[in-house]
């Protein structure tokens, strides 16, 4: 519900393109108070100003004094009822307000999460506790796991007794490379 309009700069004659976005100014739980505030905010300056409630009751007749008291009491009741009704425990948060952005996990949080997954905890549950997507946790965990694997040094290679080729030794190799072992 955005709108656009042009605004002329009187200084240099240029024009600004202005975007207007709706902003929630207040939330009311009383239709009566809501209508009254809306009428006040949307009134054009040419219209008459709002009627001021007289507080000097001695110059007025008894009937006028009762009407003034009724108006004053109804306005104060509406304001107090609206304020009392706005108990955050009773009314849910408005759905149009964006939730606060969650904080990003620290490297220590990621490390703890990786250890938890490595110890057998459900990756989905760990992702929920970190407030991240499952796919992000899975990708970071795979990268972490890849970094945890120890790579054999070049010095751990042996020379095959038959062909002399360098190969990575294993317990079942018996000094032979894979090609010589299968021949």
Q: Is 5 helix (H, G, I), strand (E, B) or coil?
A: strand
Q: Which tokens belong to 14? A: 């240029």
Q: Does the structure show a pLDDT above 60 at 168?
A: yes
Q: Is residue 64 part of a domain?
A: no
Distance (Å, whole) CA 27 – CA 97? 11
- Count how many domains the chain has: 1
Q: Is residue 131 part of a domain?
A: yes
Can you give the pTM of this predicted structure? 0.32
Q: Is residue 66 part of a domain?
A: no
What domain range is 125 assigned to? 107-148
Q: Is residue 59 part of a domain?
A: no
Q: What is the pLDDT of residue 176?
A: 87
Q: Is residue 180 part of a domain?
A: no
Q: Is residue 33 part of a domain?
A: no
Residue count of the chain, please give it. Answer: 183
Q: Is residue 126 part of a domain?
A: yes
pLDDT in tens, 8-40: 877 788 888 888 887 777 787 888 888 888 888
Higher pLDDT: 144 or 68? It is 144
Distance (Å, whole) CA 74 – CA 82? 12
Higher pLDDT: 72 or 176? It is 176
Higher pLDDT: 11 or 57? It is 11
Q: Is residue 42 part of a domain?
A: no
Q: Does the structure show a pLDDT above 70 at 81?
A: no
């Amino acid at each position: 519900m955005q709108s656009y309009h042009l605004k002329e700069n009187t200084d240099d004659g240029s024009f600004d393109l202005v975007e207007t976005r709706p902003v929630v100014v207040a939330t009311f739980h009383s239709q009566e108070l809501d209508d009254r505030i809306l009428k006040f905010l949307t009134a054009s300056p040419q219209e008459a100003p709002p009627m001021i409630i007289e507080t000097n009751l001695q110059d007025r007749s008894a009937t006028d004094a009762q009407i003034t008291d009724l108006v004053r009491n109804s306005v104060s009741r509406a304001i107090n009822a609206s304020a009392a009704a706005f108990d955050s425990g009773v009314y849910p948060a408005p759905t149009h307000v964006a939730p606060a952005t969650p904080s990003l996990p620290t490297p220590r949080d990621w490390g703890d999460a990786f250890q938890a997954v490595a110890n057998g905890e459900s990756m989905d549950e760990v992702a929920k506790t970190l407030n991240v997507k499952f796919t992000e946790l899975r990708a970071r965990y795979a990268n972490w796991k890849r970094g945890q694997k120890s790579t054999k040094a070049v010095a751990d290679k042996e020379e095959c007794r038959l062909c002399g080729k360098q190969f990575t030794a294993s317990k079942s190799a018996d000094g032979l490379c894979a090609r010589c072992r299968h021949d």
